[in-house]
Amino acid sequence: MQDPQTLLADIFGFDAFRSGQRDIVDAVCAGKNTLAIMPTGGGKSLCFQLPALARDGLTVVISPLIALMRDQVRALRAAGVQAGALTSGNTEEETDMVFDALQAGTLKLLYIAPERLASTGTRDMLSRANCTMIAVDEAHCVSQWGHDFRPDYLRIGELRRALGVPLAAFTATADAETREEIVTRLFDGVQPETFMQGFDRPNLNLAFEVKDGPRRQILDFANARRDQAGIVYCGTRAKTETLAQALREAGHSACHYHGGMDKDDRRDVERRFSQEDGLVVVATIAFGMGVDKPDIRWVAHADLPKSVEGYYQEIGRAGRDGTPADTLTLYGPDDIRFRRQQIDEGLAPDDRKAADHARLNALLGLAEALECRRKPLLEYFGDTDITCGNCDLCEKAPDTFDGTVAVRKALSAILRTGEYFGAGHLIDILLGNSTDKVQARGHDQLPTFGIGGEYDKRGWQAVFRQMMGRDLIRPDPSRHGAFRMTQAARPILRDEATITLRKDTIKKGANRPAVKT
Ligand code: ADP
Ligand code: ZN
């Protein structure tokens, strides 16, 4: 076997392995089953390409990203490596060349799209071709519950058993649950040698803002970063179009992107984004996995992402070159309600829904954090010993107050009205507003009526939003989003726990604190 260090210099032209790479390369070279979790941009491809060259025989690489496969094949060929790809994008000539090289036994790396695994011919071809290793890129695509699920990835385990060769799986996204699924489906439940790299991307600045004129907030953020490439993620297709228009009117070079556009138009945006400087793409999450531009300087979320995994993957597209990049995520009570509803009304089984609520909670935990955002983010992914200094809360600590009494009053309003109402009506009760609805329901007779005079309407909205964010209350989808108390709120209601809340950070009211204490 050739020496990895020599190959690193001779073929890849690098002086040294990056942190983590060497251990993975050694394990893969030694023919062990491996699972490597590395942040995007960490240098995953080298960890299977180099062992493929060091080892005898052919390595088959399964990847869902045709464009990236083709780039890698091109780069390997340019370095004098016998590599090829079988994808739907092949010309007949390319395909013939791959088959010739397979026959001659000279091919070292063969990239195939997962769809290929559906044909029995592929497996036969690979066993005849002296395939000695399988590498799986974007291994989280095997997870049925992730948003990148590829049904054909479920055939990879079968292929591994049929060929009886080691498998090396790579991914950048892997919460504990997805990791388990990868082990079950790719390795028959036998834990492979697992490598987890720190997830921190210290060059990414993290910031959240409560929505308060969201279009203006996005424009302000973009205006402060003129002529820098950026992505704005939106929750709906329609919004990508209107927001791109608004950005153009503000003098930006901007275009929209979503799954409803035809393929050519989408390709066109992808190409422009990678080639032009300073283009802003306003997109749904359809603009995603294949985006491979190292110098994206900022990512903004105009709406709250679906989960902490989604959030980190999306902002993770910025700053892959390692130089500073900024991110901003906007959110508000409607976002929280929308995301909860999406989970509740989905078709997943109950335990799955509970897990999805937990992933959303983890994200809301960042949104409503009191100290640092990076710390809870990375702890969620299992990192410890986190240093930050590069998030909006580390830069400026938020004003907080003891919200125990406020939360208890709000819970009391919810419970005394039978968990049947949303924030608007509950706030009217707390403020003692005798609206028609309040009178019609006799809610002006409740002991809770008018007990919340210490805050104004905005103040109470901030309290309810944070209660949602901390999962003390949830909108009930079967009651038009009326709030229900969760188990997590019981200790506060019973006076067994206290809670610290943020004074709100809505800019408009900056000189007039929305929450008086
Ligand atoms: P990902 O983990 O996202 O798949 P890549 O494999 O595309 O990342 O690597 C990201 C970048 O880092 C590439 O430009 C690659 O050439 C570079 N890279 C990888 N390993 C090294 C190394 N040991 N030294 C220097 N650059 C490296
Ligand atoms: Zn921080």
Tell me the two tokens of residue 230.
């950026």
Tell me the two tokens of residue 10.
């001779």
Tell me the two tokens of residue 124.
């036969």
Residue 395 CA to ligand 2 centre (angstroms): 7
- Percent of the chain scored above 90 by pLDDT? 74
Ligand nearest to the CA of 313: 1
Distance CA 463, CA 350 (A): 29
On average, the pLDDT of the chain sits at 91
What is the model's pLDDT at position 508? 44
What is the model's pLDDT at position 55? 95
Helix (H) or strand (E) holding 334: helix 333-344
Tell me the two tokens of residue 79.
């370095």
Residue 393 CA to ligand 2 centre (angstroms): 6
Atom of ligand 1 nearest to the CA of 8: 23
In the predicted structure, residue 331 carries a pLDDT above the cut 60: yes
Distance CA 134, CA 406 (A): 57
pLDDT band at 119 (very low <50, low <70, confident <90, very high): confident
Task: Tell the residue nearest (CA) to atom 23 of ligand 1.
Answer: 17
Burial of 507 (0-12, 13-18, 19+ CB in 10 A): middle
Q: What distances in angstroms separate CA 4 from CA 1, 44, 72, 80, 511, one per listed residue?
A: 9, 15, 19, 16, 61
Q: Across residues 106-121, what is the average pLDDT?
A: 92
To the nearest 5 percent, what fractions of the chain are helix, strand and coil?
A: 45, 15, 40
Tell me the two tokens of residue 213.
């004129």
Residue 297 CA to ligand 2 centre (angstroms): 19
Q: Across residues 150-176, what is the average pLDDT?
A: 91
Distance CA 88, CA 71 (A): 15
Which DSSP letter does residue 463 get? H
Query: What value of ipTM does the predicted structure carry?
Result: 0.96
Q: What are 401-455's pLDDT values in tens digits?
A: 999 999 999 999 999 999 999 999 999 999 999 999 999 999 999 999 999 999 9
Query: Residues 372, 394: contact at Cβ < 8 Å?
Result: yes
Pairing of strands 109-112, 83-86: parallel
Task: Tell the residue nearest (CA) to atom 1 of ligand 1.
Answer: 41
Q: Which of 8, 10, 11, 12 to mutate to test the pocket of ligand 1 (most atoms within 8 A of CB)?
A: 12
What is the model's pLDDT at position 479? 79
In the predicted structure, residue 517 carries a pLDDT above the cut 80: no
What is the model's pLDDT at position 505? 59
Ligand nearest to the CA of 398: 2
Atom of ligand 1 nearest to the CA of 38: 2
pTM of the entire structure? 0.73
Residue 323 CA to ligand 2 centre (angstroms): 18
Q: Which of 45, 61, 111, 141 to mutate to test the pocket of ligand 1 (most atoms within 8 A of CB)?
A: 45
Q: What are 212-244's pLDDT values in tens digits?
A: 999 999 999 999 999 999 999 999 999 999 999
Task: Tell the residue nearest (CA) to atom 9 of ligand 1.
Answer: 43
